[in-house]
Chains A and B, each alone.
Chain A
Amino acid sequence: MYNRCKRFSIFLFMMLMIILTFTGCWDSREILDYNILTGSGFDLADDPEQIYITLQVANITQQESSSNEPSTGDNNQFVIFNAVSDTILKGISEININNNHKLMFHHNQIRLFGIDLAKHGVKKYLDMLLRDQQARLEVPFAVVDGRAEDLLSVKLPTEPISGLFLGSMFEDLAKTSMHYKVRLIDFINRILDEGAAPVMPIIKLTDAEEDKKEVIMTGMAVFNDDKMIGQLTLDETLGYIWSLGNVNTCHLEVSDEFGKSILNIIDLSCKRKVTPLDDEKVEVNLSVDAVFTVGELQGFTDMKNDELIKHLDKLAQEQIKETINNAFIAAKNLEADIFGFCTAIHQYYPKKWDKMKDHWNEIFVDIDFNVETKVSISGTGQLVQSLEMEEKME
């Protein structure tokens, strides 16, 4: 019995030693010791070599705890911290020093760049964001048409914390196509690819009065290396998104002199074939394969069902072709290969790429760009014809 007790005590001792020596609780952190960051924004400071950091932190005490306590309107549910500094980390530590809680970056929902900073170049600030272990690489990025600070400190009618709103907004857009959500890793990959031009969604606040402002997306900011050089409009953005394929739910508006229809894209896939014809000429063939349902129909009163479907097919094909072509033309005007054709050549024709890479921009502008579309309408909803057509038949 004595022996057993001794053995057991040795065992206990060993267990304790394992637990206490293998590691310790140095990285233990209590929720209450931290400020939860919900959004961060970077603007150009007055001195162009410095940045103006805006951090949006959730104000836990003002969060609605339960539904039966109506929140009083004037309480701010977030707090804004600002710092001006030449590096991000320096600014953050400045904020940390002057605060009773540390900042926690894990739940950062969005990172915003002011348009001035984007035009000035963002590369040198990305280093910290990549290095920092706390930050997730999945956080979406966006350029603000204006100052990032304004967007972070605005109180939106639907969601009081704009960081959370923007986070879920891009999450929602990513359901349509994942290319709407530009994560740090996507952005960096594009920068590192020779020849490719990074893009980033661009958003702005509407010019309404205080408390009624809303966030709208105005297109895609196009970068050359790390400097913003221009912008795609919303329609051009749509073409860009379609050209990348994998679009799930989206609307397509077609119209001609007979009538107007909104088609729901159920599934749109796009195969691209990039073939260098010679050292100076590249041919790109996109074949778009799309499945639609009819969402809304106005007009087309003179057509029979079969005709109508065929007609809509034709319209949709043309529309898709035109939209993608427009996006390409916009990219051509900016001399920015936002589609990443260069990557395809780099991967499949590395030898030709060696000859092309020095003057890729010239080749890109001169690309032979063809779009083929194949469209099928899988359903017409509960109605086959429009109501106007039904009436006419009778």
Chain B
Amino acid sequence: MISLILRWKFNERICSLLFFKIIIRKLRFFFKSSEINKESENETPTDLNEQATVIKTNLDENLTNLRSALGESNDLKVHSIRFGNKNEFSGAIVFIDGLVDNFIMTNAILSPLKNWTDNSRVSSNTDLINILEQEVLCASDATVVHSIPELAMGCLSGDTILIVDGYIDGLMLSTKGWEKRSVSEPQTETVVRGPREGFTENLRTNTSLIRRKIRNGQLHVEQMVIGRKTQTNICLMYLNGVANPKIVNTVKERISKLDVESILETGYIEEYIDDAPYSPFATIGYTEKPDVVAAGILEGRVAILVDGTPFVLTAPMVFVESFQTAEDYYSRALYASLLRIIRYIAFIITIFAPAIYIALNSFHLELIPTTLLFTVAKAREGTPFPVFIEALIMIFAFEILREAGVRLPQPVGQAISIVGALIMGDAAINAGIVGAPMVITIAFTAVSGFLVPKQNESASILRVIMMIPASIIGLYGVGIGALGILIHLASLESFGVPYFDCFDRPADMQDTIMRMPLWMKTKRPRHIAKGDTTRGNFFIPPIRPHANNDNEGEP
């Protein structure tokens, strides 16, 4: 293959046009998402299988087995009880301390058991568990199980287990209750106007937050358990009849094929099921706000919730999604459109500004207005490095500052930004390491980058990459680089939906560069939603309603 390319290379002057075509094809080829077709071996979690698996009649033996299945842990509590009319039944309740709510456990299990005296109907061996489950206990959810691993699993997810001596069934009673963060305002996507609640680390809270937004029976919630060691709960939420079944199946298939040890955050899932793992652009969206997820679901997206993280994935993602914020839809359409255009411009600035500055400074001095050229030349005077190195130094310094500010506690972070931004920037100019225009360019670039937080990662990478061709071949290089980025973006796909979707049909364009008024938006995005694609009928809002009222007359 290399020899082939080399041969092309030698002929490049003769057939540079053909060569360019080949490059484009190659670019597409390399960035095109290829489905992971390899069958991953579908192992079931086997950790607990080695233990004795069935519940025996002997209570002590069962308890020993259960203890060993859970590794003799200190927080495993076993509470032996006797109950019945004459205390003739001996049993044990088993739970893991900290995962259960003691109040629920007492009210749901202990006190009903202790107060239950009418055991005259217990005749056969199996009856007792059924009667307990159906008549005695007050737990919201009870399951009859037959194996030790199931019991252990129940314990680990916060259930309380009741086993009775002489019976081969165990009862798994839902008494989940642990310390959790309450619903609070998210740190990442703050809004001036709009709901302030954000997801928490608790999966159930999160699903309920979405349910509260969409009260619809067609909102399907599908649970999966992923992670050989962590056994993390994962929820898929989508609106049946609106979401494209193909996309839903793809998401389900990709997640179910995962054979990984642990899932600690949605980022794990994102990386495993991403369409373009080598691309700087994310092809799965994430958010911390229930209203954003609800809006996504209503457009036909699939939400992926993972237990233990307040971040929720939405798939598929299109490029324009990065420029949409929740507040766009809560403020007036004109203003939202203005903001959105600013965001697009800022994104272009944040990628291309340093590259263009370098190109102008080292290749196209004639393009700089004369008076500005004097200023730039004056500022550059005495700086030792070429402009490219200068830009690298400043970008590197900026990334260091940002990273320092992010990780530190807020009061210290502010001190860092003052030291960094004011003192270092000024000192760097005074010490003659970099020129003032470069500092301005990088500062402008950095601030612009914050306007599109969802593409901040890609922009940070691309701006450095774009600087390289700019420093080698000037604006021509910037052009080639921009073309490369465009080709790459156009070749990306997210779960079968083109990443650059929304630019091919007027109805889809309504929510791209401009945010059209809601009453104009009658269709859901074409490639994402399937089935029920109509949001509502087009209607004209009551412009001057009183003009009509005059004729009708007030009652």
Q: Is B380 an interface residue (CB 8 A)?
A: yes
Stretch at the interface among B116-124, B442-450, B468-476, B507-515: B468-476
B residues within 8 A CB of A134? Answer: 366
Using CB atoms, name the residue of chain B closest to A20.
Answer: B472
Query: What's the Cα separation between A20 and B371 when bound, in Å?
Result: 34
A residues within 8 A CB of B212? Answer: none
Q: Given A22-B473, A24-B472, A60-B381, verify A29-B370 contact (CB < 8 Å).
A: no
Using CB atoms, name the residue of chain B closest to A38.
Answer: B370
Q: What's the nearest-Cβ distance from chain B to residue A61, in Å?
A: 6
Q: Residues of A within 8 Å of B, CB-based: how many?
A: 37
Q: Which of A14, A30, A136 is B5 in contact with, Cβ under 8 Å?
A: A14
Using CB atoms, name the residue of chain B closest to A18.
Answer: B23
Q: Is A11 an interface residue (CB 8 A)?
A: yes
Q: Given A21-B12, A60-B377, A107-B370, verify A14-B472 contact (CB < 8 Å).
A: no
Query: What's the Cα separation between A227 and B375 when bound, in Å?
Result: 40
Query: What's the Cα separation between A60 and B366 when bound, in Å?
Result: 16
Q: Residues of B within 8 Å of A, CB-based: how many?
A: 38
Query: What's the Cα separation between A70 and B478 when bound, in Å?
Result: 39
Query: What's the Cα separation between A32 and B378 when bound, in Å?
Result: 9
Q: What's the nearest-Cβ distance from chain A to residue B488, in Å?
A: 11
Contact with A along B454-495 (1 / 0, CB 8 A): 000000000000001101111011001000000000000000
B residues within 8 A CB of A158? Answer: none
Contact with A along B198-213 (1 / 0, CB 8 A): 0000000000000000
Contact with A along B360-401 (1 / 0, CB 8 A): 011101100011011111111100001100000000000000
A28 touching B365, Cβ below 8 Å = no
B residues within 8 A CB of A29? Answer: 362-363, 365
Q: Is B14 an interface residue (CB 8 A)?
A: no
Q: Is B30 an interface residue (CB 8 A)?
A: yes
Query: What's the Cα separation between A11 and B30 when bound, in Å?
Result: 7
Q: Is B9 an interface residue (CB 8 A)?
A: yes
A31 touching B5, Cβ below 8 Å = no
A65 touching B378, Cβ below 8 Å = yes
B365 touching A31, Cβ below 8 Å = yes
Q: Which of A19, A32, A107 is B381 in contact with, Cβ under 8 Å?
A: A32
B380 touching A32, Cβ below 8 Å = yes
Q: What's the nearest-Cβ distance from chain A to residue B194, in Å?
A: 42
B residues within 8 A CB of A8? Answer: 30, 278
Query: What's the Cα separation between A30 and B480 when bound, in Å?
Result: 22
A104 touching B365, Cβ below 8 Å = yes
B residues within 8 A CB of A106? Answer: 365-366
- Name the interface residues of A6-24: CB closer than 8 Å to any CB of B: 7-8, 10-11, 13-14, 17-24
Query: What's the Cα separation between A34 and B2 when bound, in Å?
Result: 43
Q: Given A28-B474, A32-B381, verify A10-B362 contact (CB < 8 Å).
A: no
Is chain B's interface secondary structure helix, strand, loop, or mixed overall?
Answer: helix
Query: What's the Cα separation between A362 and B23 when bound, in Å?
Result: 67
Query: What's the Cα separation between A45 and B387 when bound, in Å?
Result: 42
- Name the interface residues of A38-87: CB closer than 8 Å to any CB of B: 38, 58, 60-61, 63, 65
Query: What's the Cα separation between A23 and B479 when bound, in Å?
Result: 14
B residues within 8 A CB of A104? Answer: 365
A19 touching B378, Cβ below 8 Å = no
B30 touching A30, Cβ below 8 Å = no
Q: What's the nearest-Cβ distance from chain B to residue A78, in Å?
A: 11
Query: What's the Cα separation between A147 and B480 when bound, in Å?
Result: 49
B469 touching A19, Cβ below 8 Å = yes
A10 touching B374, Cβ below 8 Å = no
Q: Given A14-B26, A30-B387, A107-B370, verify A61-B381 contact (CB < 8 Å).
A: yes
Q: Which of B30, B371, B377, B471 is A31 in contact with, Cβ under 8 Å?
A: B377
Contact with B along A99-130 (1 / 0, CB 8 A): 00000101101000000000000000000000
Q: Is B1 an interface residue (CB 8 A)?
A: yes
Q: Is A216 an interface residue (CB 8 A)?
A: no
Q: What's the nearest-Cβ distance from chain B to residue A317, in Å?
A: 43
Q: Is A257 an interface residue (CB 8 A)?
A: no
Query: What's the Cα separation between A11 and B24 when bound, in Å?
Result: 11
Using CB atoms, name the residue of chain A closest to B278.
Answer: A8
Q: Which of B1, B278, B365, B377 is A10 in contact with, Cβ under 8 Å?
A: B1
A residues within 8 A CB of B477? Answer: 19
Query: What's the Cα separation between A17 and B2 when bound, in Å?
Result: 12
Q: What's the nearest-Cβ distance from chain A to residue B62, in Å?
A: 46
A31 touching B361, Cβ below 8 Å = yes
Q: What's the nearest-Cβ distance from chain A to residue B19, in Å?
A: 9
Q: What's the nearest-Cβ distance from chain A to residue B33, in Å?
A: 12
Query: What's the Cα separation between A13 and B380 when bound, in Å?
Result: 34
Query: What's the Cα separation between A7 and B31 when bound, in Å?
Result: 10
Query: What's the Cα separation between A144 and B377 when bound, in Å?
Result: 30
B363 touching A107, Cβ below 8 Å = no
A63 touching B370, Cβ below 8 Å = no
A residues within 8 A CB of B278? Answer: 8
Q: Is A36 an interface residue (CB 8 A)?
A: yes
Query: What's the Cα separation between A7 and B371 when bound, in Å?
Result: 49
A residues within 8 A CB of B23? Answer: 14, 18
Q: What's the nearest-Cβ distance from chain B to residue A33, in Å?
A: 10
B2 touching A63, Cβ below 8 Å = no
Using CB atoms, name the residue of chain B closest to A31.
Answer: B377
Interface centre among B12, B23, B377 (most CB of A within 10 A): B377
A residues within 8 A CB of B30? Answer: 7-8, 11
Interface centre among A28, A60, A167 (most CB of B within 10 A): A28
Using CB atoms, name the residue of chain A closest to B1.
Answer: A10
8 contacts between A and B (CB under 8 A): A10-B1, A10-B5, A11-B27, A13-B2, A19-B469, A25-B471, A29-B363, A164-B370
List the interface of chain B (C-beta within 8 A of A): 1-2, 5, 9, 12, 23, 26-27, 29-30, 278, 361-363, 365-366, 370-371, 373-381, 386-387, 468-469, 471-474, 476-477, 480
The 9 A-B residue pairs with the shortest CB-CB distance, nearest first, are: A106-B366, A107-B370, A11-B30, A60-B377, A31-B377, A63-B378, A28-B362, A25-B472, A23-B473
List the interface of chain A (C-beta within 8 A of B): 7-8, 10-11, 13-14, 17-25, 27-32, 34, 36, 38, 58, 60-61, 63, 65, 104, 106-107, 109, 134, 136, 164, 167
